[in-house]
Structure 1
Amino acid sequence: MNLKMKKFSDLTVEELYGILKLRNEVFVVEQECIYQDCDNKDKNAYHLFVEENSEIIAYLRILEKGISYDEISIGRVVVAKEQRKKGLARKIMMKAIDFIQEELNEYEIRISAQEYLIDFYKSLGFEEVSEVYLEDSLPHKEMLYRKA
């Protein structure tokens, strides 16, 4: 298992394909959500992913301030179906939070969380800061992390 953090321009073609494949498998096919995944935000993101046997099995992206929100944000958090319940989502989220604080010197992180994952994000220190809203036909809430 190999954890990697890369800017868009540093991704190999194989890595980019694997990232898009995983996001498509989970968000479009499994969750039956039709949305524009390639939103041009990837070009300005940090991409954190776990690779195992040349396959991307977990992923998230970190967006700098002003791209999605006034704060830095984390999005597209995804784990391959057969890899769930192994702590990978927690591992990459904690790595992302550490990176944002230690490398980017930022201490507030905003996310748009699918409603069924609210408790998971709360366990990482995020707080609900909005009512439920639909994003791509799925219920979400904005959540904010502030370093204590």
Structure 2
Amino acid sequence: MEWTLQTFEELSATELYEILMARNSIFVVEQQCAYQEIDGYDPKSFHLTLREGDKLVAYARLLPGGVKYDLPSIGRIIVAPEYRGSGAGRRLVARSVNIMVKDWGVEQIKLQAQVYLRHFYESFGFEPTSEEYLDDGIPHVDMLMRVKNEVLRGSE
């Protein structure tokens, strides 16, 4: 499996199409949530993918501070259905955090978590910063990681 981190401009049309198709398949179709999935933040974001051959296994969008929130954030976290339960999601979040901490030097990372994944994100050190709320009909909670001087594992 191979990791790739790309700016919007570095993505080929085929790569972008595959990412948007996967996000739409999960966030709109699978979760039965009609909303504007393409939200205008992609051009100013970094796109982290994990591939096995030509198959997209996992994806996350890394947003620098000032793009969507004042703080840097991770969003649009997906794992292809056939790879769920394989540890790909854990490796994806760990890799995302490592990039932001080690390469970008951030001290805090924000994310909007679907409530059912709250404990998953807490296992990385994210803490809830809001009450539960509905976002496009799905229960969410805002979460924040305050970076500690620890080595993050599981992203290799």
Normalising by the smaller structure, the TM-score range is over 0.9
Cα distance per residue 1:71-111 (max 9 Å; x no partner): 10000000011110011111111111111111111110000
Provide the residue aligned with 2:130 in structure 1: 130
For 1:122 and 1:73, locate their aligned partners in 2 and report how far apart those are by CA, in whole Å. 15
Provide the residue aligned with 1:19 in structure 2: 19
Provide the residue aligned with 1:31 in structure 2: 31
Q: Tell me the amino acid that sits aligned with residue 45 of structure 1.
A: S
TM-score, normalised to structure 1, is: 0.97
For 1:68 and 1:137, locate their aligned partners in 2 and report how far apart those are by CA, in whole Å. 20
TM-score, normalised to structure 2, is: 0.92
Q: Is the 8 A contact 1:18 1:55 kept in 2?
A: no
The Cα of 1:55 is off from its aligned counterpart by 2.1
How many residue pairs get aligned? The number is: 148
Provide the residue aligned with 1:68 in structure 2: 68
Cα distance per residue 1:35-86 (max 9 Å; x no partner): 1111110000010011123121210001111222111000000001111001
Tell me which stretches of 4 or more aligned residues in structure 1 moved more than 2 Å: none
| Runs of 5+ consecutive residues of structure 2 not aligned to the other structure | 149-156
Q: Tell me the amino acid that sits aligned with residue 3 of structure 1.
A: W
How large is the RMSD of aligned CA atoms in angstroms?
0.9
Provide the residue aligned with 1:89 in structure 2: 89
Once the two structures are aligned, what percentage of the paired residues are identical?
A: 41
Provide the residue aligned with 1:2 in structure 2: 2
